[in-house]
Amino acid sequence: MSYLKQNIQQIKKRIEAAAERSGRNPEDIYLIAVTKNFSAELIQEAVDNGIVFLGENRVQEAKSKVDLVKGNIEWHLIGHLQRNKVKTAIDIFTMIQSLDSWRLAEEIQKRAQQADKVIDVLVQVNIGSEETKYGIDPDDTEVFIEKVATLPNLKVRGLMAIAPFKENPEDVRAYFRHLREIFQSIKEKSIENVSMEYLSMGISNDFEVAIEEGANMVRIGTGIFGQRNYNV
């Protein structure tokens, strides 16, 4: 058995266990394989071993891989999107998980309208209020979503966040819980043109805690593919 197949099986078992601990159905949790700095060949092997959702950080990198990876797959943008890359992004990605400003929302609306598409987006929340991270302030998230809901070619499908990195995953539990509370509060408002379905939080070192706190999308890179080689 290849190390990749083994890693995928292990991650799926850990997702299952975390879901069961929190009384949830493991089948309701989507595994996004984070492909940044990994080759199309390696990504193809992951797809051949059951991976359906691929998360890429950069538009240009996704563009170089998208035609090389075959199968019934979806590409999600999980990194910061520059406005000058929006036109290309909406051609490649099924979902943009990193909507982090009104100016970006306006650009997506413009380009999506030109292409006659409705783009699924997640609103990125800066849940740790970190200066080094993109995202909407937690206190502003609801008002921001109400504004985005007025754009006919965008469809808000939920929230995404990158929690502050901590060695001990338990130390980020409160951030995940806070995001779930924001998610739930907005969902209960039943805002028109907003469908709060996805809560994307949790990466290789903390995804089990994220699932216990309500995540139904987790983004795993090194846990599947191993350590990245940034010199490639």
Task: Report pLDDT for 162.
Answer: 95
Per-chain mean pLDDT for the chain: 96
| Residue 230 domain-assigned (yes or no) | no
Q: Which residue in 103, 102, 117 sits closest to 155, CA to CA?
A: 117
- Is residue 64's pLDDT more than 60? yes
pTM reported for the whole predicted model: 0.95
Helix and strand numbers (H, E) in the chain are: 9, 8
Residues whose CB is less than 8 angstroms from the CB of residue 145 and which lie 6 or more positions away in sequence, other chains included = 123, 156, 186, 191, 194
Instruction: Read off the pLDDT band of 163 (50, 70, 90).
Output: very high
CATH number of the domain encompassing residue 154:
3.20.20.10
SS3 196: strand
Q: How many domains does the chain have?
A: 1
| Residue 179 domain-assigned (yes or no) | yes
Distance CA 114, CA 225 (A): 37
CB atoms within 10 A of CB 96: 25
Q: Which residue in 19, 37, 38 sits closest to 27, CA to CA?
A: 19
Pair 92, 66: CB distance under 8 Å? yes
| Residue 162 domain-assigned (yes or no) | yes
- Is residue 31's pLDDT more than 80? yes
According to DSSP, the β-strands at 119-124 and 95-99 are parallel
| Residue 231 domain-assigned (yes or no) | no
The mean pLDDT of 12-39, rounded to a whole number, is: 96
| Residue 95 domain-assigned (yes or no) | yes
Instruction: Read off the pLDDT band of 227 (50, 70, 90).
Output: confident
- Is residue 232's pLDDT more than 60? no
Distance CA 85, CA 115 (A): 14
Pair 42, 65: CB distance under 8 Å? no
Q: Which residue in 167, 165, 161, 164 sits closest to 181, CA to CA?
A: 161
| Residue 47 domain-assigned (yes or no) | yes
In which domain, by residue range, is 100 found? Answer: 3-225
**Secondary element (H or E) of residue 200:** strand 194-200
The mean pLDDT of 133-146, rounded to a whole number, is: 97
The mean pLDDT of 25-45, rounded to a whole number, is: 96
| Residue 128 domain-assigned (yes or no) | yes
228 against 126, higher pLDDT: 126
Residues whose CB is less than 8 angstroms from the CB of residue 110 and which lie 6 or more positions away in sequence, other chains included = 86
CB atoms within 10 A of CB 85: 18
DSSP letter at 168 equals S
Q: Give the number of C-alpha atoms closer than 13 A to the C-alpha of residue 168, restricted to the C-beta side.
A: 3
Pair 65, 40: CB distance under 8 Å? yes
